[in-house]
Amino acid sequence: MACSLHVAWDDGLTSYNFGPQHPLAPVRVELTMALCREYGVFDRPNVALNAIEPASEELLGLVHRADYIEAVKRAGKTLEPDDPYCLGTSDNPVFPDMHDASALVAGASVRAASAVWNGESEHAANIAGGLHHAMPANAWGFCVYNDAALAIAWLLEQGAKRVAYVDVDVHHGDGVQTMFYDDPRVLTISLHESPMTLFPGTGRPTETGGPGAEGYAVNVALPAGTNDSRWLRAFDAVVPPLLREFQPEVLVTQQGADTHALDPLANLMLSVDGQRHIYSALHRLAKETAGGRWVVLGGGGYELVQVVPRAWTHLLAEASGAGIDPAVDTPQAWRDFVRERTGEVPPLYMTDGRTVEVTPFEAGFDPDDSVDQAIQATRRAVFPSHGMDPSL
C-alpha cells in the first residue's frame, strides 16, 4: 500500500564534500537521486520533494557545544586544522564553508522529523543524512554535525516521550548513543561489525545505558564475515521484540549501506538483496510499533556506484510503499549518466542475485555459532531491563 513520503532535498546537500580523495564522496547521493528519478519514485502522487533550510546555531545547540559550532565555522573560513575539535584530520578534513554544508544536512534531517511529527507525511527521508559519529564537541568518523541526534533532540523538544533509533550502518552509531546514553526516552539500537575489527571501537553489548536508562542503549556486535541470512537473524532476534515493548512515538533509522560485501572500508558480507529485506522489515515495524511515523536517514556506504545508489533507491521506493522489482534492469539513461559522471561501469540490475533465507533465532540457539553468541550477549545484557526473558 502506498505511503506518504516527504523527501527533504536541496542540491546543496552535495556540498558536504571532504575532497576528491575522501571516501565519503557526495556523488553517491547524486547517483541515488538520479536513479530514483529514472524509476519515477519522486513522481508518485504520494511522494513530495520539499525544500530545506540550514539548521540554526540555536538548533545545533541542542546536541553540540557552542564553542564547537564556532570552531566549525572558523575552520570553514581559515581552512586551518583545529586539533581539539578533530577538524583537519584525514577522516575530517576542513573544506570551504564547512559549517554551511553541515548545517544544511542537519536542517534536512530536522525537516524530515518535523514532517512526520506534524502529520505532513507518514514517512520522511534525508538520504544525505545519517552522520551518526559526530560528538557534542568534536567531529568524528567523517561526521561534522550529528543530524540523526539533532532530529531526535528536536522531537524531544516538541514533546515526544519515546523515540526509537535503529542504526544498521556497519559502524557503531557511537555519537547518537553518547548523546542519549542517560535518557530513557530514547532507545538506541545499533547493529554493526564488532569493535574488535572496525572503527570506532565501541558498541559492545555491555554498553547498555547510564543510570536510570539501563537497557536503553542496545548494541549487537557482529563478527566480520556475517552474511545476509545471519545478519537478518540477529536483527529479528533483537529489534522487533524491543520495539514492540518500547512502543515508540517515532522510529528514526540510519540506513548505512556499508554492510555490503563490496564496501572497501568494512568486512560484512551483505548483498543489496539482504539490505532490501532490512528496509522492508523496518517499514513494517514503523507501522506496527510507531503508528507509521518513520524518519529515514542515509549513512555510510563507500562503494559509490555498485552499491549505494541501488540500495538507497530500494530504500526510498520501499518508504513510498511500492518497492522496485530487484530483477529489473537499471535504466539505460542512468547507466549513461554513471559513465559520464564517474567513468565507471554501472550495475546492470537492481539485484545481486541473492536469495535470502532467514532461520529465526527462536528456532534454536547454536552456542558454537559466533552470530548466535553475539545475539545472546545482547539479549542477556538488555532484555531483563525491559522485563523480557532473553532465552525466549
Query: Coil, helix or strand for 149?
Result: helix
Number of CB atoms found within 10 A of residue 156's CB: 16
Task: Classify strands 217-222 and 47-50 as parallel, antiparallel or unpaired.
Answer: unpaired
Cβ 323 vs Cβ 310: under 8 Å: no
Closest CA to 338 of 330, 328, 350, 326: 330
Helix (H) or strand (E) holding 65: none
Helix (H) or strand (E) holding 304: none
Beta bridge partners of 321: none
- Give CA–CA dist 120/56, Å, rounded: 22
Enter the C-alpha cell of residue 360.
529465526
Query: Coil, helix or strand for 231?
Result: helix
Active site annotation includes 133: yes
Cα 283–chain centre separation: 14
Q: Which of 6, 123, 132, 133 is catalytic?
A: 133
- Radius of gyration, alpha carbons of the chain: 19
Cβ 143 vs Cβ 133: under 8 Å: yes
Query: Coil, helix or strand for 166?
Result: strand
**First vs last Cα of the chain: how many Å apart?**
33
> Which burial class, exposed, middle or buried, applies to 88 when counting CB atoms under 10 A from its CB (0-12, 13-18, 19+)?
middle
| Cis peptide bond N-terminal to 200, omega within 30 | yes
Enter the C-alpha cell of residue 320.
513510498
Where in the sequence numbering do the catalytic residues fall? 133
